[in-house]
Amino acid sequence: MGDSGDSSKKGLEGTGLALPPNNHGNLISASSDENLNHILLRIKSSKTPTVINYGASWCGVCSQILPTFCKLSNQFPKLSFVYADIDECPETTQHIRYTPTFHFYRDGERVDEMFGAGEERLHDRLWLHS
């Protein structure tokens, strides 16, 4: 199980959840505003379809969907997956009003948004954007 008492852990490790391993190297987490800004710049200059999961460690719905998000990263190896905790990236995520929020990018542009959880809904959106 995770060590949620260790505040030095950030991103996916800081959730304290037992998450499935990522087998394709296509899942990363943003650990600070600077890190998320760098990721967003990379997305804008990339042709790789990307989904960003904006969540929070205190959000129960986020904790429920995060293992699914990690599992789906293995089912969609051509997509890039990013997890951003709104408390670790407060400046960059101040526009996020609901957790979890998923942003979908294609050719560097945001093309879709999904609010809330739902394993099947998320799978269908990923399939659509892959």
Among this protein's residues, is 89 annotated catalytic? no
Query: Of 12, 28, 43, 62, which residue is the catalytic one?
Result: 62
Query: Of 56, 59, 79, 122, which residue is the catalytic one?
Result: 59
3-state SS string over the chain? CCCCCCCCCCCCHHHCCCCCCCCCCCEEEECCHHHHHHHHHHHHCCCCCEEEEEECCCCHHHHHHHHHHHHHHHHCCCCEEEEEECCCCCCCCCCCCCCCEEEEEECCEEEEEEECCCHHHHHHHHHHHC
Among this protein's residues, is 59 annotated catalytic? yes
Point out the residues that are catalytic. 59, 62
